[in-house]
Amino acid sequence: MPRDLPLANGHLLVNFDASYNLRDIYWPHIGERGHTQGHVNHTGIWVAGQFAWFDAPEWQRELVYEPNTLVTAVTMTHPALNVTISCTDVVDFDRDIFMRKMKVVNRASEAREVRLFFHYDWHLGESEGANTAYYRPDLHILGAYKDSWNMILNGCVGDADAGAGQDANHGTVGVYSWATGYKEFNGQQGTWRDAEDGSLEGNPIAQGSIDSCIGFSLGDVPTGQARYCYHWLCAAHKYQAACNLNRIVIQRGPETFIQRTRDYWRLWVSNKPLDACNLPQPLVDLYRRSLLVMRTQIDQDGAIIAATDGDVWAFARDSYAYMWPRDGALVANVLSHAGYSDATGAFFHFCAEHITEGGYLMHKYTPDGDLGSSWQPWMDKQGNLALPIQEDETALVLYALWQHYTLFHEIEFIRPLYRPLITAAADFMCSFRDKVTGLPQPSWDLWEERRGIHAYTLAAVYGGLMAASQFTAAFGEQDRSQRYAQVAGEIKDATNRYLWHEDAGRFVRTVYVEPDGTMTPDMVIDASLSGLYQFGMFDVRDDRIKRTMRAVEDRLVIKSEVGGVARYENDYYHQVSQDIANVPGNPWFICACWLAEFKIESATTIAELDNALPWLQWVQSHALPSGVLAEQINPYTHEPLSVSPLTWSHAEYAGAVRWYIGRYQHLTRLATEAGAQRAAE
């Protein structure tokens, strides 16, 4: 199930699914550790003897954010229970506190007692064993811990917002209804089942494979009126530190944490002005939402995480909660152009710290910098050593870093990155080449499915080497600069020679080097051929690029009601349809954005620029109501597939919007100058 509402502060991240179940709690890194392993953490309500969990089908739900914030604005209505619940959730922007606020309105014709229940399926440290949950009566808190992961649960109820110095109901702070118990062991389902009769048994402690549930009575809610419930979770490495966070919430009032987080994110997203030109407002709104979603996936120590949707774990016993240097570089590049240098600077230092002695970045990394799991072997089909890398990942980090420098001109920022990252990676790219063809040696493609020499990789290496040439020229190393530029030129020439297919009238996505040295082209049409112009290797007006992109559009635009653009012909990943002629693959947001970017860059007039708008609008219209973009969607039902949100999807959309605005401004300026010239004549 997709994650509709991510919230984070760089250390603590939580995700809600489409049923408004709390699913993921990551801490102390974004993407590591997953303390619920993607399991459902139930929330439920008891009203005068009737009970419903929030994922029951009877609920009418609206799951969105407050505009320009990382504050949820969820509305839940249950016709049979006659209640409406307005929910506000935040992860405090500064402290590791997850705060929930629920306003329950009684729609019935008589006063009724209301109780709320919050359940946690603990897998602390990503393990279901050796967890402990306990109740502490003097503090009225429920805690859970394993090793250095300490969580404290608390809350309060009342008939008004609980601001600084007040507790919303004149003293009713604390957990007074609770249960600790067992699940995933001897057939036990967990303490959430205990809540369904409206009361919890109060077991004071449980150890092993455990969960816990807390309840709050809102008392008798008069007809047509509302009562409030706040619930918060505090995370810390030490028990006392978690207790201190809980104490601060009680002293200041939970509402103050919601308001200050709301103010912070409004300031963050509005602090970088955007001239939206003629873009429709929904596209601008999704641009800002994309910036905020990207920010939720960035760890404070620099790792930019691909996705934190824990559901994928159930299918592959692994996740997307890693830092792929490619994804990270593309996200960083967009955020740099949006003005957020602080959010991206740590990423480049992360790469410099973890690049190998050989000057290349590995497949992927955990949020704290260890090597991520990989399916890319250290040998080729003949049993020879083959680096398990995607060379575009190394190259794109340099490309994005040069973009960062041209925007902010922070020499002191670049200085510690110069030797360990810039020249080391550029030297590697110069040496990692075939002596006969001049092409880079085979590596894995950006889709991580095939090993060969790929058009996207060649374009990225060209862009990375040209960036290194610019850096070394700026640092006075002219010989290095000339060498990097020369190698980039040789790779461009080799791309012309070996990847242009005259009979097909387009570039091919990959060539494979056979054991006897001959080259076999891969004729499958792939949207990643867009890379040939994206990183500066070829001009978008080059007739060969036009012909290649025409083939991409003709073959990969999906002929179903949903529409969109596939990755490549007969894409097997989460494949829904075998009607390859009409549905060559599932629609990917990334690929729709690439097609939009091609039309943007190709435009010579404002009228031509309008050709890109339908693809930007396609992305916006297929986002979740919250604005979240998945990796791909079902070509017949619009249903999100694979992970959601995918950070890369949001980066490509935000990048396409900025590309559109830049082109609009450029074409407007040219038209104005031409008009002035005509008037002068």
Question: Rounded to whole angstroms, how far apart are CA atoms 439 and 348?
Answer: 27
Q: What is the tens place of the pLDDT at every residue in 376-395?
A: 999 998 899 999 999 999 99
Please give the Cα distance from 463 to 330 (Å, whole number): 13
Separation CA 494–CA 542 (nearest Å): 17
Question: Over 90: is that where the pLDDT of 185 sits?
Answer: no
Q: Give the mean pLDDT of the chain.
A: 96
Q: For position 78, what pLDDT does the model report?
A: 98
pLDDT digits (tens, 9 = 90+) for 428-446: 999 999 999 999 999 999 9
Q: Dihedral sign, CA of 148, 153, 154, 155?
A: positive
pLDDT at 161 over 80: no
pLDDT digits over 452-506, tens only? 999 999 999 999 999 999 999 999 999 999 999 999 999 999 999 999 999 999 9
509-568 pLDDT per residue, tens: 999 998 888 999 999 999 999 999 999 999 999 999 999 999 999 999 999 999 999 999
Given a cut of 60, is residue 169 above it in pLDDT?
A: no
Task: Say what the pLDDT of residue 317 is.
Answer: 75
What are the b/e assignments for 419-432, b being 16+ CB within 10 Å?
A: ebbbbbbbbbbbeb
* Confidence tier at 315 by pLDDT (50, 70, 90): low
pLDDT in tens, 521-536: 999 999 999 999 999 9
- Model pLDDT, residue 316: 65
Better pLDDT: 434 or 311 = 434
In the structure encoding, which two tokens stand for residue 23, read together? 């699913």
pTM (whole model) above 0.75: yes
Nearest of 535, 377, 354 to residue 448 by alpha carbon: 377
% of the chain surpassing 90 pLDDT = 93
pLDDT, tens only, 628-646: 999 999 999 999 999 999 9
DSSP structure string for 247-305:
HHHHHH-HHHHHHHHHHHHHHHHHSS----TT--HHHHHHHHHHHHHHHHTB-TTS-B-
Q: Which CB contacts under 8 angstroms, 24+ apart, belong to 676-679?
A: none
Query: Which domains, and CATH codes, for the chain?
Result: 3-268 (2.70.98.10), 273-301+559-681 (no CATH), 327-556 (1.50.10.10)
User: What confidence score (pLDDT) does residue 313 get?
Assistant: 63
Residue 91's region, left for phi above 0, alpha for psi from -120 to 50, else beta, is beta
The angle, 0 to 180 degrees and rounded to 10, between the axes of the packed helices 478-499 and 424-431 is 40
- pLDDT confidence of residue 653: 98
452, 461, 456: which is closest to 380 by C-alpha? Answer: 452
Mean pLDDT (whole number) for 218-233: 97
Mean pLDDT of 141-158: 97
Buried b (16+ CB within 10 A) or exposed e, 134-159: bbeeebbbbbbbbeebbbbbbbbbbe
- Report d(CA 96, CA 236) in Å as an integer: 7
* Number of neighbours of residue 657 by Cβ within 10 angstroms: 27
Q: Which of 617, 615, 573, 562 is nearest to 591 (CA)?
A: 615
User: Tokens in use for 184?
Assistant: 């995933």
Encode 363-379: b = buried (16+ Cβ within 10 Å), e = exposed.
bbbbbebeebebebeee
Residue type (1 letter), 462: Y
Q: Say whether pLDDT at 94 is over 50.
A: yes
Task: Note the pLDDT of residue 163.
Answer: 62
How far is it, in rounded angstroms, from Cα 28 to Cα 10? 8
DSSP letter assigned to residue 645: S
35-49, 305-319, 358-372: range with lowest mean pLDDT: 305-319
